[in-house]
């Protein structure tokens, strides 16, 4: 690998050069590399081969082996011109090996319209000192290409419209200079495509409409500099794709309209610089795409209209910076954001999703779930452990909020209770007080169930007591007033309680006609009048008025009369709290 140099000097000597594998060249190329102060950084000797000698090997259809050589001004365009061929005529090359070779040119390193028909094209550990590298419209048949450990000073690289066979394309550990890297309309075979640990440096990188076929694709630990990274309309097959720990520089990253087909797409621990990110309209038939522990910087992130209905998308423990994140109109099987921080506006108005996991998420701004132009179909929504510093916009009926939580199969009663508590606080902050009451009732119901389960586990010997207390709370808190959220239900419960005590008084009177003073059975009152008298007495007792014209005289009558005022005061207080709760908001 060459050092980072400022300038270089080449001297061709007449003495022969012999490579490590025994090949001999008539001349030696002595190359020195210097820093800005003209201090020599490195010195290397290679075999020297004249470009015309390489052209003759092409004419004769022979193998080209220029390993450990210095090659100057190689160009297939120049070759065509010298042979009177058309500019776009394909040149068949049996094999081409340039391992640890140094290329030097005054224009460009031109391999365009080359047809490599046999063994793999080998540039392992080669260096290109000057000029862009051009493989435009080349064909590789069943051969592969080894570009690993290549070093280029000029970062302009053109593999557009290139057809790769089933061989492997290897750019592992390659260092490309600043410039435009173009793989537009390239077609790969079933062989592995490797850019692992490649350094693209600054400049746009384009894979627009590239067909990766069914091979494995790896950009693991690759580094992109500042510039646009463009994969629009690219197509992948059944092979997995990895961008794990890849670093994107500042600039737009565009994967819109990409067809991922099938497989696992890995963006775990990827770093995105400042700039917009777009995956709009991507599709994945079956598989999974993961952004776990990825770090997103400033810029809008567009995941709208994804067609992932049978595929999972996970952003667990990812870090989002400033910028809107949108999944508007997306279809997915699972959308997971566990333990993620939402720093800015999140649009989760998906078209269809089986399960959205927001457990452990910190919401600092706005999460939008309320339907607008189309129904938001979500089967389960997990809010366990969510820290709500911002707000969630959703509609109780349109989003079917109750079923989103209650239908969860993997959360217990305590976790469901916690989720409804979060929603209760959220609706209060949004001013949706009717939704707040609905969430509060469900929060208390699941809390009571959770406390019963926990009590039965901790003290199973007194299970009867636990069930009794649960039943009492269920009756008083829930059924009689829905936890003070429904004043009309409390009023109805009060009326029913009053009627209950009226019936009790009437039963006591019918059992003993002398149990109440001033209700004289000798007047031969009809039964309706007698019941009316007990209702009147029950009413003034229930409301603690106590006019005194009817008095309880026996033990049973006094017992009922003693209990009734307590329930009367209790129900009126219950009503006052529920009514004030509605009015004051």
* Range scoring the smallest mean pLDDT among 36-40, 117-121, 122-126: 117-121
Tokens standing for 362? 């910190």
- Kindly report the pTM of this predicted structure: 0.87
Q: Residue 205: helix, strand or coil by DSSP? A: strand
Cα distances from 272 to residues 200, 224, 320, 362, 569, in angstroms, run 15, 10, 10, 20, 64
The C-alpha atoms of residue 213 and residue 235 are separated, in whole angstroms, by 7
Residue 109, beta-bridge partner list: 133
Assigned token pair, 380: 């389960």
pLDDT band at 549 (very low <50, low <70, confident <90, very high): confident
Distance CA 331, CA 68 (A): 54
Among 207-211, 266-270, 544-548, 570-574, whose mean pLDDT is lowest?
A: 544-548
pLDDT greater than 60 at residue 523: no
Q: What is the largest CA-CA distance in the chain?
A: 146
SS3 462: helix
Query: Mean pLDDT for the chain?
Result: 91
Task: Write the pLDDT tens digit of every residue in 153-182.
Answer: 999 999 999 998 888 889 999 999 999 999
Q: Which residues contact 134 (CB under 8 A, 6 or more apart)?
A: 108, 109, 110, 111, 112, 158
**CA geometry: angle 57, 164, 59, nearest 5 deg:** 15
Summarize the confidence of residues 246-255 as an average pLDDT. Answer: 96
Sign of CA dihedral 322, 372, 391, 383: negative
Average pLDDT for residues 220-248, to the nearest whole number?
Answer: 95
**561 or 57, greater pLDDT:** 57
Report d(CA 52, CA 79) in Å as an integer. 9
**Position 83 confidence tier, pLDDT thresholds 50, 70, 90:** very high
β-bridge pairing 377-382 and 352-357: parallel
pLDDT classification of 244: cutoffs 50, 70, 90: very high
pLDDT attached to residue 545: 86
Answer whether 239's CB lies under 8 Å from 263's CB: yes
**What's domain 487-584's architecture?**
Orthogonal Bundle (1.10)
**Per-residue model confidence (pLDDT) at position 143:** 74
58 CB-near residues (< 8 Å, 6+ apart): 64, 79, 91, 93
Task: Give the model's pLDDT for residue 20.
Answer: 80
pLDDT at 520: 59
Does the pLDDT value for residue 525 go beyond 60? Answer: no
- Position 1 scores a pLDDT of 61
- Flag the least confident range among 23-27, 325-329, 392-396: 23-27
Structure tokens that stand for 474 in this block: 């269920």
**Which distant-in-sequence residues (6+ apart) come within 8 Å of 528 by Cβ?**
none
Please state, in angstroms and rounded to a whole number, the distance separating the CA atoms of residues 127 and 191. Answer: 25
Alpha-carbon gap, residue 501 to 570, rounded angstroms: 14
Looking at residue 345, its pLDDT comes to 95
Separation in Å, CA 11 to CA 17, 45, 105, 328, 563: 14, 10, 15, 63, 114
> Given pLDDT bands bounded at 50, 70 and 90, which one contains residue 282?
very high
Mean pLDDT of 129-152: 90
Strand partners, 271: 247, 295
DSSP string covering 241-267, please? EE-TT-EE-SS-EE-TT-EEEEEEEE-
Taking the domains of the chain in order of start, what are their residue ranges? 487-584
Instruction: Give the mean pLDDT of 332-358.
Output: 96
Q: How far apart are CA 419 and CA 446, in angstroms?
A: 10
Residue 258 has pLDDT above 80, yes or no: yes
- Of 525 and 145, the one with more pLDDT: 145
Per-residue pLDDT at 166: 83
The answer to whether residue 460 scores a pLDDT higher than 80 is yes
Share of the chain above pLDDT 70, in %: 98
Rounded Cα gap, residues 13 and 21, in angstroms? 21
């Amino acid at each position: 690998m060459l050092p980072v140099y400022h300038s270089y000097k080449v001297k061709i000597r007449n003495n022969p050069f012999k490579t490590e594998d025994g090949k001999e060249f008539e001349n030696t190329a002595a190359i020195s590399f210097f820093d800005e102060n003209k201090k020599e950084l490195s010195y290397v000797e290679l075999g020297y081969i004249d470009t015309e000698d390489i052209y003759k090997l092409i004419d004769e259809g022979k193998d080209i082996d220029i390993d450990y050589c210095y090659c100057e001004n190689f160009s297939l365009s120049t070759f065509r011109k010298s042979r009177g061929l058309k500019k776009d005529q394909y040149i068949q090359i049996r094999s081409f090996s340039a391992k640890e070779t140094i290329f030097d040119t005054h224009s460009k390193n031109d391999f365009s319209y080359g047809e490599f028909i046999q063994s793999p094209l080998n540039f392992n550990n080669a260096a290109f000192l000057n000029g862009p590298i051009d493989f435009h419209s080349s064909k590789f048949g069943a051969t592969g290409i080894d570009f690993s450990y290549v070093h280029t000073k000029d970062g302009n690289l053109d593999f557009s419209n290139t057809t790769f066979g089933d061989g492997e394309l290897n750019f592992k550990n390659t260092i490309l200079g600043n410039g435009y890297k173009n793989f537009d309309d390239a077609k790969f075979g079933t062989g592995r495509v490797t850019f692992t640990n490649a350094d693209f440096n600054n400049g746009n990188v384009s894979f627009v409409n590239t067909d990766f076929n069914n091979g494995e694709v790896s950009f693991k630990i690759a580094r992109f500099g500042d510039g646009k990274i463009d994969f629009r309309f690219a197509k992948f097959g059944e092979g997995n794709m990895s961008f794990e720990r890849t670093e994107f520089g500042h600039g737009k990253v565009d994967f819109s309209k990409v067809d991922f087909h099938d497989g696992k797409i890995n963006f775990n621990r990827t770093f995105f610089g400042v700039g917009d990110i777009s995956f709009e309209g991507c599709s994945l038939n079956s598989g999974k795409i993961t952004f776990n522990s990825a770090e997103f910087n400033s810029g809008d992130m567009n995941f709208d209209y994804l067609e992932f209905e049978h595929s999972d998308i996970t952003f667990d423990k990812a870090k989002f910076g400033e910028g809107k994140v949108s999944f508007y109109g997306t279809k997915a099987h699972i959308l997971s954001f566990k333990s993620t921080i939402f720093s800015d506006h999140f649009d989760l108005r998906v078209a269809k999703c089986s399960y959205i996991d927001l457990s452990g998420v910190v919401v600092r701004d706005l999460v939008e779930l309320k339907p607008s132009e189309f129904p938001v179909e979500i089967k389960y929504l997990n809010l366990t452990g969510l820290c709500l510093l911002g707000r969630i916009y959703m509609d109780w009926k349109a989003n079917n909020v109750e079923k989103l939580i209650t239908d969860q199969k993997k959360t217990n009663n305590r976790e469901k209770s916690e989720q409804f508590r979060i929603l209760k606080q959220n609706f209060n902050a949004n001013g949706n007080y009717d939704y707040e009451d609905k969430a509060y009732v469900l929060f208390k119901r699941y809390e009571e169930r959770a406390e019963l389960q926990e009590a039965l586990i901790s003290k199973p010997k007194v299970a009867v007591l636990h069930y009794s207390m649960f039943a009492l709370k269920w009756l008083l808190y829930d059924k009689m007033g829905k936890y003070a959220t429904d004043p009309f239900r409390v009023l109805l419960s009060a009326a029913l309680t009053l009627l209950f005590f009226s019936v009790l008084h009437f039963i006591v009177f019918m059992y003993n006609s002398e149990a109440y003073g001033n209700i004289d059975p000798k007047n031969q009152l009809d039964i309706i009048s007698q019941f009316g008298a007990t209702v009147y007495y029950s009413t003034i007792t229930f409301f603690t008025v106590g006019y005194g014209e009817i008095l309880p005289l026996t033990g049973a009558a006094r017992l009922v009369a003693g209990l009734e005022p307590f329930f009367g005061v209790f129900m009126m207080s219950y009503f006052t709290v529920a009514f004030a709760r509605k009015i004051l908001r």
